[in-house]
Amino acid sequence: MGKVFSRPEKMGIYRRRVIFEIEALGLNSIGLTAIISVFIGAAITLQMSISLESPFIPQYLIGYATRETMTLEFSSTVVALILAGKVGSNIASEIGTMRITEQIDALEIMGVNSASYLILPKIIATVFFFPFLTLLTIMIGIIGGYTIAWTTGIMSPDDYIEGLLYDFVLWEVIYSLIKIAVFAFIITSISAFYGYYAKGSSLEVGRASTRAVVVSSITILIFNLILTQLLLT
């Protein structure tokens, strides 16, 4: 981390790399997260409507439960676990391949701080862009819940919207954004670490990628508990 966060020599090059990494690691992840979000939102609404099917339970609580689930856990923790598999493995395999093929050694010979040049733009890009993915997943998941309520008739869309607005707390959204920013740093730094120190043959790249995903996922779950305790209690 000391090498990664050392002062960049040429800011223009780093800016271009940050923009490139935002597209590679952020924009290219929108499709996957959007598809998963819409179906998760629909599934939550459907399951809640079945579980809470009682004349004594107000239907608007279904919309409320969907909003809370999407905001507090899915949009940050579950999305981070998904991105750990997609983005984390991509980072570890990319940097690991560069290590195995001695491209990193070539950068060092030319006097380039390889750790900063390769890893810092990825960290900046993910920490900056992943919160936008979180907001997108919240909105798409809620839309998915509304769509299933409207198309199947399991509940009144008006009740669903009432539940979305019921007891809304802006801090819960901010809490999710803080979590995903921390998770973005965890995913990128751990994956880059395993890729940067990959050794041996090309088979080691696959092993490094697998270890990066596993360790990132476990670390995300641990920090999820820590951040929840710190931010919501």
pLDDT digits (tens, 9 = 90+) for 87-145: 999 999 999 999 998 888 888 888 788 888 889 999 999 999 999 999 999 999 999 99
The 3 state secondary structure assigned to the chain is CCCCCCCCCCHHHHHHHHHHHHHHHHHHHHHHHHHHHHHHHHHHHHHHHHHCCCCCCCCHHHHHHHHHHHHHHHHHHHHHHHHHHHHHHHHHHHHHHHHHCCHHHHHHHCCCCHHHHHHHHHHHHHHHHHHHHHHHHHHHHHHHHHHHHHHHCCCCHHHHHHHHHCCCCHHHHHHHHHHHHHHHHHHHHHHHHHHHCCCCCCHHHHHHHHHHHHHHHHHHHHHHHHHHHHHHC
68-72, 96-100, 201-205: least confident range = 201-205
- Residues 65, 142: Cα–Cα separation, whole Å: 11
Of the two residues 131 and 153, the one the predictor is more confident about is: 131
Q: Is 171 left (phi over 0), alpha (psi -120 to 50) or beta?
A: alpha
- The confidence score (pLDDT) of residue 178 equals 95
CA distances for 19 relative to 30, 103, 141, 215, angstroms = 16, 22, 27, 27
Task: Let me know the angle formed at the C-alpha of 63 by 58 and 65, rounded to the nearest 5 degrees.
Answer: 90
pLDDT digits (tens, 9 = 90+) for 169-194: 899 999 999 999 999 999 999 999 99
Structure tokens at 144: 């998915």
- The confidence score (pLDDT) of residue 8 equals 63
Nearest to 137 by CA among 216, 212, 196, 74: 74
- The confidence score (pLDDT) of residue 16 equals 87
- Residues 112, 178: Cα–Cα separation, whole Å: 32
- Residues 122, 156: Cα–Cα separation, whole Å: 44
CA atoms within 13 A on the CB side of 201: 1
pTM of this prediction? 0.91
Whether the per-residue pLDDT at 9 is higher than 70: the answer is: no
